[in-house]
Each structure stands twice: as structure tokens, then as C-alpha cells.
Amino acid sequence: MKFAYVPLATRRPVYSLAGAQLRYRPLIPLQVNGVHGSRLFDCSLDSGADDTLFPEQLAKILGISLTGPPDEGEALPVAGRPITYAYGRISLRLSDGFEACEWETIVGFIAAPLVWPILGHAGFLQFFDVQLLGDRHEAVLIPNASFPGVTHPRPLSP
């Protein structure tokens, strides 16, 4: 599956990007399913994150059961205080409009505000071989041998 990076404007020219006023980010839309329905969320591919994390409010909206202590995660945000988060089992669906992958997994739900849900190793990146094509502003994801769900490949051309 291929996803173009999402262009987001900046207020000021970005010195590290030779004065560009757009940042291209590897955001991909993921469908999160719960007992009360589903939501589509643009999520950030983040190879620096150990867990996959969603906002805690989403668990409430979708009726997803969460773990309590001691089965919690803990993270240290940049320049922040350690925060704990609960885990929940959910069903996810990823599609670029041509192919689709569906699987169940365990992710974290964090009360701290997130700009984007974080697609970290556990629950997401572990199941895909990922290429970030910086020059083309494109992310390529291929489910790997450990992918635990169902894939719907691109139909063959006639």
C-alpha cells in the first residue's frame, strides 16, 4: 500500500528545510473499530515509538475495554513527566483504496493529548515492512510474515 505524505503549512519558513513553508508528514488514515462503531484517524508512522497509542477519548467513544494496573504502559514524553496509559484490544483496518489489511491487536490509550495517534512498533510497525521515501514524499507499507490478520490484495487487471 502506498500513501503520499500529507503537506502541512508552517507559520514561518523552516530553516532546516531551506526556507520551505510546508512540512510533509507520513500520516496514514486508519480505521479503528469498537463495539460502538468505528472512526477513521490520520495516524503518524513513528519508528521511535515502542507502542501504538490512541487518545483515551477514542476508547470511550467506541466502547473499547481498557486494562487497569498493573497492566499499564508507561512513557516519558520529550521534556515531560512520565505518564501511564491503559491497553485495549481493538480491530484495525488500513487501506489505500486499492488494497486493505484488517487485524486485531493491543494498543495503548493515553489521556495526554496527541496531535496524531502514534503508530509504533507493538501493534502496528511489527506487522509491516515500511519504506519512507523522503524524496517522493511517500510511505510504502507491505504486510510481513508476522501480520496476524486478513489482507485484501489489489484485484488483478483484466
Partner 1 sequence: MEMHEYLSNRQHFPAGELEKYAGQYVAWSPDGKRIVASSDNLEALDREVRAAGEDPAQCVIEGVPAYDSVIGASDLQQKRT
State how far the Cα of 78 lies from the Cα of 76, in Å rounded to an integer.
6
CA torsion, points 142, 144, 146, 152, in degrees to nearest 10?
50
State how far the Cα of 75 lies from the Cα of 9, in Å rounded to an integer.
29
Residue 120's closest CA among 81, 87, 80, 82?
Answer: 87
Least separation in angstroms between CB 149 and partner 1: 17
Residue 4 makes contact with partner 1 by CB under 8 A? yes
Q: Which of 65, 71, 84, 97 binds partner 1 (CB under 8 A)?
A: 97
Residue 57 makes contact with partner 1 by CB under 8 A? yes
Q: Which residues pair with 122 in a beta bridge?
A: 51
Nearer of residues 27 and 127 to partner 1, judged by Cβ: 27
Nearer of residues 57 and 131 to partner 1, judged by Cβ: 57
Helix, strand, or coil (residue 127): helix
State how far the Cα of 54 lies from the Cα of 46, in Å rounded to an integer.
13
Nearer of residues 18 and 145 to partner 1, judged by Cβ: 18
Residue 42 makes contact with partner 1 by CB under 8 A? yes
Q: Which of 63, 65, 71, 77 binds partner 1 (CB under 8 A)?
A: 77
Cell of 58: 477514542
State how far the Cα of 146 lies from the Cα of 125, in Å rounded to an integer.
10
> Contact at 8 Å (CB) between 4 and 137?
yes
Nearer of residues 60 and 89 to partner 1, judged by Cβ: 60
Residue 98 makes contact with partner 1 by CB under 8 A? yes
Residue 19 makes contact with partner 1 by CB under 8 A? no
Q: Which residues bind partner 1 (CB under 8 A)?
A: 3-4, 6-12, 14, 22-23, 25, 27, 29, 37-42, 44, 46, 48-49, 55, 57-58, 60-61, 77-78, 80, 95-98, 112-118
